[in-house]
Structure formats: C-alpha cells, structure tokens
Amino acid sequence: MEDRLSHIERRILAILQGGLPKSRTPYKDMAVQADLDTKQILAVLQQWKRQHKIRRIGAIVNYYKVGLEAGAMVVWQVEPERIKRIGEEMAAFKQVSHAYQRQTAENWPYNLYTMVHAETLDETRRIVQQISDACGVSDYRILDTLRELKKTPPTYIINGE
C-alpha cells in the first residue's frame, strides 16, 4: 500500500485533477489557489514525477483530431500460461496504445485487453487480424467505439475533502 497523501499534497491534487490553470504561469496560479509557494508546488510535482505518481504532465491531445479516427477495444482470450508473453508481444505493436491483463468473469472469459488505433475502421480490422496471426490468438472480440459518453479527468478529491 502506498503512503497516504499529506494535507499539502491533497490540496495540490485537488487543483491538478482539473488540469493546469490556463495561464502562462500555471504553477504560480496553482500556488495562489492552494495558498502555497510556487516552489512548494514545483517540489511536490517534481517528487511525484520521480515517484512515477505523475506519468506525464503537459498537453492532453485529442487524437481523433490528429488523424487517428478509429479506435477499438479488442478483448482476447489467452491461456494463462501464455498471457505474459502474448501481452508483451501485443504491446510491441505501435498501433496498440494500451494493453492490460484483467480479471475475468463467469460470463466473460476474456483476459487480455488492447486499445487499437488506426485511421479507418477497415484499417483497425486489418491490424487486429495481423495481431491475431502474429500472436496465435484466435479467440477475440472487437468492441468498436460507437460514441464517447463521458470523458473527464479523474476526480480524486471530491468537494475538496
């Protein structure tokens, strides 16, 4: 289990979760909002980066607008003894942005999850077929994205608590 966040860290997270302030001095603005010094903000963010609590800070780009129009979640059923190797193989495809092993359910046997991106739906199909052939996994489902229902930054601190 990770350490609990300190009071100062929670104040910073409460602001950071909604994104950086839209200003040319975002960290200074965060400091004003959190009633802290800019140096304190930068020190905590630098520490979080070192600890990999922050994976990345900067622009969140809408990739549907930079040419990748089609995305599908593909779920695969892989024998448990092969899943580590297959997961790594699938992750090596550049069109695969996410690859996870997940728990299964009684009525849902799929244990490997990939997000596959391409410019068109047909292209997505072709890449999925390629992955299937290369990794020798024939039991899969393609779950096309029909519509984005909600996309918000995660809310860690609710109502400032």
Partner 1 sequence: MDEMDCKILNALQYEFPLSERPYDRIAEKLGISGDELWTRITALTDRGVIRRMGASLDSRKLGYSSTLAAVSIPASDVDRAAEVVGRYPEVTHSYLRDDQFNIWFTIIAPDRSRITRILDEIRADLAIDNDRILNLPVVRLFKLDARFKSSPNDH
Site for partner 1 in 93-152 (CB under 8 A): 96-108, 111, 113, 141, 143-152
Structure tokens at 53: 């609590």
Is the CA virtual torsion 41, 46, 49, 55 positive or negative? positive
Structure tokens at 90: 């699938």
Q: How many CB atoms lie within 10 A of CB 29?
A: 17
**Is 63 or 79 the residue whose CB approaches partner 1 more closely?**
63
Q: Is 7 in the site for partner 1 (CB under 8 A)?
A: no
**Minimum distance, C-beta of residue 7 to partner 1, in the bound complex (Å):** 14
* Number of residues lying near partner 1 (CB under 8 A): 77
List 7, 35, 65, 81, residue binding partner 1 (CB under 8 A) = 65
**Minimum distance, C-beta of residue 158 to partner 1, in the bound complex (Å):** 5
With a CB cutoff of 8 Å and minimum separation 6, the contacts of 63 are: 117
**Is 36 or 54 the residue whose CB approaches partner 1 more closely?**
54
Q: How many CB atoms lie within 10 A of CB 80?
A: 9
Rounded-to-integer distance, Cα 37 and Cα 39, Å: 5
List 6, 32, 79, 88, residue binding partner 1 (CB under 8 A) = 88
**Is 36 or 68 the residue whose CB approaches partner 1 more closely?**
68
**Is 36 or 113 the residue whose CB approaches partner 1 more closely?**
113
DSSP three-state, residue 68? coil
Q: Is 46 in the site for partner 1 (CB under 8 A)?
A: yes
Structure tokens at 49: 């980066």
